Amino acid sequence: MQGNTACAEGALAAGCRFFGGYPITPSTEIAEHMALKLPKTGGVFIQMEDEIAGIAAVIGASWTGARAMTATSGPGFSLMMENLGFAVMTETPCVVVNIQRGGPSTGQPTMAAQGDMLQCRFGSHGDYSVIALSPASVQEMYDLTAEAFNLADRFRIPVFVMADEIIGHMREKLVVPDTVTRDDRIPLQKGNLPFRAGDSLVPGFPAFGKGYGVHVTGLTHDERGYPCATSPSVHEDLVTRLVNKVESARNTIASCDVINPDAQVVFISYGAPSRAVEQVLHDIRRDDVGHLRLKVVWPFAESLLSRFANAETFIVPELNMGQIAREIERHTDRTVIPVPKLGGELHNPSDLARLLEELA
């Protein structure tokens, strides 16, 4: 199956029943498949006039209690940023798939990139935190998309599936599981304030049409949901909770593959470049070379680096100019070697192997 189709199938298996979006290369196959399949499941597909309206429709659908998603690429992702900030502030669970292409601007519509990794983390204004997953195979396009809905509901937050054109258009064998685990939203209990959170820092969800009268606003709001935009203490408490509900759980959200934990030289990768690294490890078969493959990129769990206690050097191949390499540098005193790659083509395994030889 093609990666984009597997993404759509994973969403359907997870119970997604609303897709709102606008076609854009190289993500369009996701919308096409959802348009075909959603009506057969009792769901709704709607092509909006642009990506701004697409994410707005997804947010509205989520507040009715539906699992909702959209899919896009670079320019469309940029258009969504204001409404994604609104989703963070209103604690709206939804899934956004970005099949990344070369940018800035129109860039390379049919070529792969990972240039939006910092944008998904910091693209909207203000302080907040998000969850971003990065599949490296067709199987993970299915599995991680399904998991994205669980994370979105558990933390009441937009969750990003940050794939790339290579993975989106790749065709591989897909094993469809018999069942997909579903973690439903915690409902708001009668008598509780709609934005009062307990120890989990995540308030119960009051779906529209279920008997709740809830005020939903992008303004700073109190626990009732009413605007309170001039109170420093209310704003500080709200934004701190929005950040901490994700950051305090980053070690439990983290998901990765670890190869050769005793290695001295360790590749750190996510998405399509992981496949080039896997080929290098297969070819050279050196015990002193390891691999940390991130399935969850944000929130970044620095504790993962400690799994390689003997590591002296981290090599970070990315289809950008070193966006996650900078994050790794913030969390370690060991040598970090970025291996940037622009232009839409994947790293050549022989180039990565040559770099290892130079370090030996």
Residues 265 and 159 both lie in one domain: no
* Domain-terminating residue out of 151, 169, 187: 169
Specify whether 58 is located in the same domain as 164: yes
- Residue 89 burial (CB count, 10 A): 20
Domain harbouring 264, CATH code: 3.40.50.920
Strand partners, 19: 45, 69
Strands (DSSP E) contained in the chain are: 16-21, 44-47, 67-72, 94-102, 108-112, 131-133, 158-164, 256-259, 265-269, 289-294, 296-298, 313-318, 335-340
Given 169, 202, 228, the domain boundary residue is 169
- Whether residue 197 is contained in a domain is answered as no
Q: Indicate if the pLDDT at residue 177 is higher than 90.
A: yes
239 is a domain residue? no
Query: Would residue 205 count as lying in a domain?
Result: no
Average pLDDT over residues 82-88: 98
CA distance 30 to 99: 10
- Tell me which residue has tokens 């291996």: 339
269 within some domain: yes
Closest to 37 measured CA to CA, from 69, 11, 73: 11
Per the structure, how many domains does the chain have?
A: 2
Please say which residue of 138, 169, 200 terminates a domain.
169
Residue 96 token pair: 């956004």
Span 115-134, pLDDT tens digits:
999 999 999 999 999 999 99
Please indicate, yes or no, if residue 194 is contained in any of the structural domains. no
- Whether residue 11 is found in the same domain as residue 154: yes
Q: Give pLDDT tens digits for 4-63.
A: 999 999 999 999 999 999 999 999 999 999 999 999 999 999 999 999 999 999 999 999
Task: Compute the distance between CA of residue 263 and CA of residue 290 in angstroms, rounded to an integer.
Answer: 5
29 HSE (CA, 13 A, CB side): 17
In this structure, is residue 232 part of a structural domain? no
How far apart, in whole angstroms, are the C-alpha atoms of residue 289 and residue 273? 16
Q: What is the CATH number of the domain that holds 64?
A: 3.40.50.970
State the residue range of the domain holding 332. 257-359
Q: Is there a single domain that holds both residue 46 and residue 160? A: yes
User: What is the structure's pLDDT at 307?
Assistant: 95
Closest to 356 in 3D by CA, of 284, 249, 269: 284
Q: What is the pTM (predicted TM-score) of this model?
A: 0.97
- Say whether both 17 and 151 belong to one domain: yes
Residue 210 falls within a domain, yes or no? no
Residue 193 included in any domain: no
Is 161:144 a contact under the CB 8 Å cutoff? yes
Residue 119, helix vs strand vs coil? helix
Q: Please check whether residues 17 and 162 belong to one and the same domain.
A: yes
